[in-house]
Chains A and B, each alone.
Chain A
Amino acid sequence: MISRSAAVLPKTVTLRPTLVATVVEDGAVLLDLDSKYFYALNESAWAVVQLFETTAASVDAVLAQCARWGSKDDAAVRAFLEQLTEQQIVEECGAGDPLPQVPFNGEWCSPVMRRQAEPLQNIVTSAFDPSIPLAE
């Protein structure tokens, strides 16, 4: 798990456009196309991210929505948003939009994000080596 940061939490957030989300069995995976790092989100964390996946959301509105989902700990959600900010997964934007409808039927737990230790490896060579006649 990424250690809690001291990042300054902006008033509004949106997912940076270089992040690509993929839904998996127990949440979602984000891939940052710039840094090539993967981030695994649990179901609560993924629900939160969907609130600003395509729109701008105010942090206050996000906290209120999390409370409706069952969160009793604003601090945990704030810490998660600070992680997102520090890792540059979200960025500050203008005014917040109305929150989208995000279905969340699971049991609320603290949002958790884990960064994969190593970024996606660069391709070092190719089996389809063009130097070979009609390459492999």
Chain B
Amino acid sequence: MRISVVIPALNAAATIGETLKGLQSQVGAGDFEIIVADNGSSDDTAKIARECGAWVVHEPVRGPAAARNRGLHHARGEIIAHLDADTVPSRRWLSEICEPILAGAVISAGHSICYPPKTPAERYAQAVGLNDAELAVYRTPFPFAPSLNLAVRRDAAIAVGGWNADLITGEDVDFSHRILQKYGGSIAYCKRAIIYHHARSDAAALRRQARSYGAGVADLYRLYPGEVEWNARKALHLSGVLLGRAAAPLAASIGSAIGVVDAARAEFAAYHWLWTSNFWLGFAGRAISRRKA
């Protein structure tokens, strides 16, 4: 067995069937096993997964990192590929994302595409490329492979201690960083390893996601103080960015009313501020709570 696909899942009965059907349709990847790491679902996630031929393992500690570790523990493949339980992989996803690893890379990231957006929140997520590995793998100071669409050598994942289960978000940033610290090199980006996924569909869900991402970044500051530090220059720069983004929705709506800014741009400005403000609220909230702790 060369490849194990590990899918963390929590109450994913509505979507995991499509994910597994997409895996059953794979071509070119040879023999592989599918492990669904059920994180305490109260719906039919485990039943559907078994019916679709997956091996279901259970992880009582909540969080996708703990669930991925459970899958890693049971996996028999030399390569571990990860999908989220609300994604649909394209026909050659597995062969494409494993190809660079078979050629010597340690970790690879695939190309994730949102379903055609229907709501303002979905349009925003697509416009900024949330979860798009093409942005993430070249990002500094922490290039990373988004966890919804990555593959890694099993021995390397074990050698770095697996996924950090203390992290609820940003665990993929942390995992990728530890892999790159140990093995060097870069994340192999596989443009043809395409999956489809759902973006957050409304403002409330996007707000929660932004706060969660912000909290994850605060954790990275705590974990890697030697590599990122907060200072006055950054605070000043961030203040300018926040002021600019806070003013943009009002300016855009005025511009839209007098016909010099199109409605799409005004919508984007509003959601960009929603994202930015909640991201940094999440960041500040986590930083303060950690300091108190």
The complex places the Cα of A25 from the Cα of B268 at a distance, in Å, of: 32
By a CB distance below 8 angstroms, the chain B residues around A20 are 90-92, 192, 194
Say if the beta carbon of A107 comes within 8 Å of chain B: no
Q: A113-130 toward B: CB 8 Å interface, digit per residue (1/0)? A: 000101011011111111
By a CB distance below 8 angstroms, the chain B residues around A130 are 139-140
Q: Name the CB-closest residue of B to A22.
A: B90
By a CB distance below 8 angstroms, the chain B residues around A123 are 127-129, 132, 135
Given contacts A23-B22, A24-B18, A38-B116, contact A134 B141 (CB under 8 A): yes
**Are A134 and B116 touching (Cβ within 8 A)?**
no
In order of increasing CB-CB distance, the 7 nearest A-B pairs are A133-B234, A23-B25, A127-B128, A22-B90, A123-B129, A21-B91, A136-B279
Say if the beta carbon of B214 comes within 8 Å of chain A: yes
Q: Could you tell me the dominant secondary structure of chain A's interface residues?
A: loop
**Are B237 and A25 touching (Cβ within 8 A)?**
no
Q: How extensive is the interface on chain A, given as a class?
A: 20 to 34
**Are B21 and A136 touching (Cβ within 8 A)?**
no
By a CB distance below 8 angstroms, the chain B residues around A133 are 230, 234, 237-238
By a CB distance below 8 angstroms, the chain A residues around B128 are 123-128
**Are A23 and B237 touching (Cβ within 8 A)?**
no
**Are A54 and B113 touching (Cβ within 8 A)?**
no
Most chain B Cβ neighbours within 10 Å, of A116, A118, A135 = A135
Q: Name the CB-closest residue of A to B24.
A: A23
The complex places the Cα of A103 from the Cα of B31 at a distance, in Å, of: 19
**Are B126 and A134 touching (Cβ within 8 A)?**
no
Say if the beta carbon of A31 comes within 8 Å of chain B: yes
Q: A1-38 toward B: CB 8 Å interface, digit per residue (1/0)? A: 00000000000000000001111110001010100001
Contacting A at CB under 8 A, from B198-232, are: 210, 213-214, 217, 220-221, 228, 230
By a CB distance below 8 angstroms, the chain B residues around A31 are 90, 113, 194
By a CB distance below 8 angstroms, the chain A residues around B189 are none
By a CB distance below 8 angstroms, the chain B residues around A118 are 116
**Are B88 and A24 touching (Cβ within 8 A)?**
yes
A-B residue pairs in contact (CB < 8 Å), sample of 27? A20-B192, A22-B90, A22-B194, A22-B196, A23-B88, A31-B90, A31-B194, A33-B191, A33-B192, A118-B116, A123-B129, A124-B268, A126-B128, A127-B129, A127-B276, A127-B279, A128-B128, A128-B129, A128-B136, A128-B139, A130-B139, A130-B140, A131-B241, A133-B237, A134-B217, A136-B210, A136-B214
